[in-house]
Structure 1
Amino acid sequence: MTVPSIVIDSVSKRFTLRHARSIKEMTVRAVRRQSLSETFNALDDVSLTVHPGETVALMGLNGSGKSTLLKLISGVMRPDDGRVLVRGRVAGLIDVGAGLHPELTGRENVFLNAAILGMGEREVEAKFDEIVEFSGVGRFLDSQVKFYSSGMFMRLAFSIAAHTEPDIFLIDEVLAVGDPPFREKCLARICELRGEGRTMVIVAHDIQMLTRLCDRGVMMRAGRKVFDGSAAEAGALWREDRQARRMTPAGRNGAAQ
């Protein structure tokens, strides 16, 4: 039996939704006897085990809890109940430009972000040229990243993360930002990491891409895990949920899918 890379044990995460942002709003709601806030369960008693070398797709419509779960795995947030155990070096992209400092140049950010992801200075120096070439931002390397476009942000951040040789690689929707050529380049790099036996957890709404990249799919619905099996079956459930939402009044009026 191999030691799991990720263990999510009965995890729950709650957020407080505030309905009043000003004294006036608070007063009006108080007079009308309306609540000022409510608790939202982003995750509700979720358990999941991921073994080394697995490529897992987290699927679900907006608000299902998949991105929150990914943030718990990455250590950005802590669960309110349960525990999250992770074994090995973790790298990933859970937000466009995550880990990049806007006031620093691209060059300085390569060393900063790589250090955050656990790389030593010598390791960064050895891979520096490869990181820059992959990102395609060499021309702007000595400019502050606050002047980068969102696509340039993503390209540099992805390139750094993808060259840290992580044991666990986490990706959340960031590929949707890139242009088609770089997107294909990223997918090729993800396939390389998969071939090297890296553990990966990927969140995206591109179900066709997920079923192509991942063998296993975990379907989330309203903060709970409702399916854990083949990526193809999870994708079919996602399409059913999307169709059901489109049939509701909110969905017909253009609610996010």
Structure 2
Amino acid sequence: MATSIVVENATKYFTLRYHRTFKEVAVAKVKGRRTTETFRAIDDVSFTVEQGEAIGIMGLNGSGKSTLLKMINGVMKPDEGTILTRGRIAGLIATGAGFHNQLTGRENLYLNAAILGMTEPEIRRKFDEIVDFAELGSTLDGPVGHYSSGQKARLGFAIAIHVDSDIFLADEALAVGDKPFRVKCMKKMRQIRKSGRTLFYVSHSPDSVVKMCSRVLVLEKGRLGFDGDPEAAVHYLHYDENDELDDGAVANDI
């Protein structure tokens, strides 16, 4: 089996700034206070993914899940270590990412699909399928700046899911969609998994992760705390001790 993703000692630093104006910074420095603080959003993370694996990414808010996804996607580069991927990558890692608010949904469809690597003939061939999946109706010809977050998520996911990719990434941005659309997205992602493509799925929902994924990575404050069986990951996070989460209803409809 071919290797799809190799992450070796990947580390990403972010800097927090405590004071915004020049005056505030000057006063803070005079008083000997720190004006910035650097922390590791991703801290020395290593793992390997084989082609066709369905990987769940779990962890508490702020653990580095979305940052890791963006690094795998190439939106961010690690400050230390390396991340190597094989093949075309597609997916939805942020609602409305890559959209131009003054352009229509139709125009953004062509633009975003091209950014994801689709050729013009490929876009034309899949255009109707994308439009049907997004279910935007007449709003497709309105400016994206007037779309709700849910409508942007619909269009973004509809485009990404129709890219012929080797690796598909999906962040919890999908959660802004209504239940019927989320159910449809999950079913489509199951088709991706069965097709042999590599799947990365970020979620807080233990039910959907167990049903969707064959392996789970758990991040804890930027570090890889767990790598293994989905049900064991849920137990590791103590999610099996909590009340059913909202996404559980979606998982039951898959």
Whether TM exceeds 0.5 here: the answer is yes
2:241 and 2:24 map into 1 onto residues whose CA distance is: 35
1:167 and 1:231 map into 2 onto residues whose CA distance is: 22
Q: Please report how far the alpha carbon of residue 239 of structure 1 lies from its aligned counterpart in structure 2 after TM superposition.
A: 2.6
**Could you say which residue in structure 2 is the equivalent of 1:154?**
153
**Could you say which residue in structure 2 is the equivalent of 1:141?**
140
1:57 and 1:240 map into 2 onto residues whose CA distance is: 14
Q: How does 1:54-65 map to 2 (within 5 A)?
A: 54-65=53-64
**Could you say which residue in structure 1 is the equivalent of 2:86?**
87
**Could you say which residue in structure 1 is the equivalent of 2:252?**
none
How many matched pairs? 242
**Could you say which residue in structure 2 is the equivalent of 1:247?**
none
1:34 and 1:172 map into 2 onto residues whose CA distance is: 37
**Is 2:234 the partner of 1:217?**
no
Q: How does 1:8-27 map to 2 (within 5 A)?
A: 8-27=7-26
TM-score, normalised to structure 1, is 0.90
1:237 and 1:208 map into 2 onto residues whose CA distance is: 14
**Could you say which residue in structure 2 is the equivalent of 1:206?**
205
> What code does the residue aligned with 2:145 have?
K
> What code does the residue aligned with 2:59 have?
G
> What code does the residue aligned with 2:102 have?
E
Q: Please report how far the alpha carbon of residue 103 of structure 1 lies from its aligned counterpart in structure 2 after TM superposition.
A: 1.2
SS in 2 for 1:141: helix
Q: Please report how far the alpha carbon of residue 234 of structure 1 lies from its aligned counterpart in structure 2 after TM superposition.
A: 1.1
* Structure 1, gaps ≥5 residues long: 244-257
2:80 and 2:211 map into 1 onto residues whose CA distance is: 34
1:62 and 1:15 map into 2 onto residues whose CA distance is: 16
SS in 2 for 1:166: coil
| 1:172-228 CA distance string (max 9 Å, x none) | 101210000001010110011111111011111122211111110001111110110
> What code does the residue aligned with 1:135 have?
A
SS in 2 for 1:165: coil
| 1:84-116 CA distance string (max 9 Å, x none) | 101111001110011221111111111111111
**Is 2:39 the partner of 1:43?**
no
SS in 2 for 1:5: strand
**Could you say which residue in structure 1 is the equivalent of 2:188?**
189
Structure 1 residues 42 and 166, CA gap change in structure 2 (3 angstroms): same
1:104 and 1:163 map into 2 onto residues whose CA distance is: 21
CA contact (8 A) 1:218 1:229 kept: yes
2:62 and 2:139 map into 1 onto residues whose CA distance is: 36
1:242 and 1:67 map into 2 onto residues whose CA distance is: 25
Percentage of pairs with the same residue: 52
Q: How does 1:114-125 map to 2 (within 5 A)?
A: 114-125=113-124
SS in 1 for 2:180: helix
Q: Please report how far the alpha carbon of residue 131 of structure 1 lies from its aligned counterpart in structure 2 after TM superposition.
A: 0.4
CA contact (8 A) 2:193 2:199 kept: yes
> What code does the residue aligned with 2:43 have?
D
1:199 and 1:235 map into 2 onto residues whose CA distance is: 21
**Could you say which residue in structure 1 is the equivalent of 2:74?**
75
**Could you say which residue in structure 2 is the equivalent of 1:171?**
170
> What code does the residue aligned with 1:23 have?
F
| 1:41-98 CA distance string (max 9 Å, x none) | 1111100111111010111101211111111000000000011101111001110011
Q: Please report how far the alpha carbon of residue 238 of structure 1 lies from its aligned counterpart in structure 2 after TM superposition.
A: 2.1
CA contact (8 A) 2:11 2:81 kept: yes
TM-score, normalised to structure 2, is 0.91
